[in-house]
């Protein structure tokens, strides 16, 4: 096995072995605590520009199933693992995990003490880092990592967004969708296919448009509602997004998910800020302050809404029970609500699916 190095801007260096594609990967090093879903995580456009550290002991044990992707190809530059399985065992497996990674050019490192790495990221915060298997010196890699741009100020959503509008009509596999009753437009800041499938299953005809589509062009399609999707990077840096969202409010029902939640926070006059190490995992408890319940949620975000900045402008509807951060807002008079997490995912397993039905009910009222 070929040796590889992970170097962080903090000066911490981790040795391991190369897996997946050969070469170098650079980006913000973050960690995800999910025990399953590695294929969905690596293909989630919200992870663009990030190297994902998996805290689970082994990756790849159930292989890769073609059809579970959240985007056509992996979106991450690299990943970090404790161990990678070479012989997957699952009836749905179409391809071994490492073969899939190599075919898509994703650089990885395994054999890393991921517990120590996560402690570094929790203490020092998410770090810019580099995975390298070419034999470069650790110090040279650290210096190179320190020169990488941070996430703040990066408009990655525009880079991953679709270039042309398209229709989506595929529901969740094996489930019969509800008959389509309403047309919705999804603004693609890096949308996951799981969101599109849930919308179809709820009874929507779905059209996806590029992130920089003008509000007037969206409204010209006469949608019953608009969904602002998830996506990567700094919400305050997404070109024209806050203005686009502000021009939609009050004219059509709006649902925001993850980055869409942050953009709507900006649209009502609020502010966002970067979290120290973010929320990434499938075990985050969130209190629904409207329904007076607690949901187990799937999350992937590095920025959050500053609560004081939206006071008097929006109602806080959901709160993270780990750190008290804002997880949902609403402006009832503008027919808008948004959540910071991913209601299409399945921890719980279906704790947050009601949000799609709530959006349908808001439209029909």
* CA–CA distance, 96 with 100 (Å, rounded to integer): 6
Q: Using CA atoms, how far apart are residues 116 and 119, in angstroms rounded to an integer?
A: 5
Q: Is 19 a catalytic residue?
A: no
To which residue do tokens 């409204």 refer? 219
Tell me which of 110, 258, 261, 284 is the catalytic residue.
258
Beta carbons of 330 and 261 less than 8 angstroms apart: no
Please state, in angstroms and rounded to a whole number, the distance separating the CA atoms of residues 209 and 186.
Answer: 6
* Angle at alpha carbon of residue 26, lines to 24 and 30, rounded to 5°: 125
The whole-angstrom separation of Cα 215 and Cα 17 is 48
Asked about 344 being catalytic, the answer comes back as: yes
- How far is residue 284 from each of residues 5, 180, 264, 324, 340, measured CA to CA in Å? 31, 32, 22, 11, 11
Q: Known catalytic residue: 66?
A: no
Burial of 343 (0-12, 13-18, 19+ CB in 10 A): buried
Per-residue exposure over 258-295, b if at least 16 CB sit within 10 Å of its own CB, e if not: bbbbbbbbbbbebebebeebbbbbbebebbbeeeeeeb
- What token pair was written down for 44? 């989630």
Specify whether the CB–CB gap between 156 and 233 falls below 8 A. yes
Cross-strand partners of 80? 53, 109
Rounded CA-CA distance 323/317 in Å is 15
Tally of CA atoms within 13 A in the half-sphere of 167 that contains its CB: 5
Torsion of CA 69, 72, 77, 82, to 10 degrees: 20
- Which residues are CB-neighbours of 210 under 8 A, at least 6 positions away? 161, 162, 163, 164, 165, 188
Cα separation, 350 vs 137, whole angstroms:
47
Catalytic residue ranges: 258, 342, 344
């Amino acid at each position: 096995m070929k040796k590889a190095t992970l170097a962080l801007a903090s000066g911490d260096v981790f040795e391991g072995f190369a897996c997946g594609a050969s070469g170098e990967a650079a980006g913000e090093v973050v960690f995800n605590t999910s025990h399953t879903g590695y294929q969905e995580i690596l293909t989630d456009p919200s992870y663009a520009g990030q190297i994902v550290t998996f805290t689970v002991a082994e990756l790849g044990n159930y292989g890769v199933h073609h059809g579970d992707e959240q985007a056509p190809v992996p979106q991450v530059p690299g990943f970090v693992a404790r161990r990678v399985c070479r012989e997957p065992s699952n009836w749905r497996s179409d391809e071994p995990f490492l073969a899939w990674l190599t075919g898509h050019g994703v650089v990885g490192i395994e054999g890393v003490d991921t517990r120590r790495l996560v402690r570094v990221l929790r203490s020092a915060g998410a770090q810019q880092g580099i995975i390298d298997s070419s034999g470069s010196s650790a110090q040279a890699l650290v210096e190179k990592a320190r020169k990488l741009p941070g996430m703040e100020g990066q408009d990655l959503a525009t880079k991953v967004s679709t270039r042309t509008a398209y229709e989506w009509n595929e529901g969740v596999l094996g489930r019969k969708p509800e008959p389509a009753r309403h047309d919705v437009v999804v603004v693609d800041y890096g949308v996951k296919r799981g969101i599109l499938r849930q919308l179809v299953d709820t009874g929507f005809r779905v059209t996806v448009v590029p992130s920089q589509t003008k509000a007037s062009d969206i409204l010209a399609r006469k949608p019953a509602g608009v969904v602002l999707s998830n996506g990567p990077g700094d919400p305050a840096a997404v070109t024209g997004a806050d203005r686009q969202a502000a021009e939609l409010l009050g004219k059509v029902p709006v649902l925001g998910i993850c980055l869409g939640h942050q953009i709507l926070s900006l649209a009502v006059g609020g502010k966002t800020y970067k979290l120290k190490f973010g929320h990434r995992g499938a075990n985050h408890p969130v209190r629904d302050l409207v329904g007076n319940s607690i949901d187990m949620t799937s999350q992937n975000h590095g920025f959050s809404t500053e609560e004081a900045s939206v006071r008097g402008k929006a109602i806080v509807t959901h709160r993270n029970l780990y750190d008290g951060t804002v997880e949902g807002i609403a402006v009832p008079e503008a027919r808008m609500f948004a959540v910071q997490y991913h209601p299409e995912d399945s921890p719980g397993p279906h704790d947050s699916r009601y949000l799609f039905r709530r959006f349908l009910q808001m439209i029909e009222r």
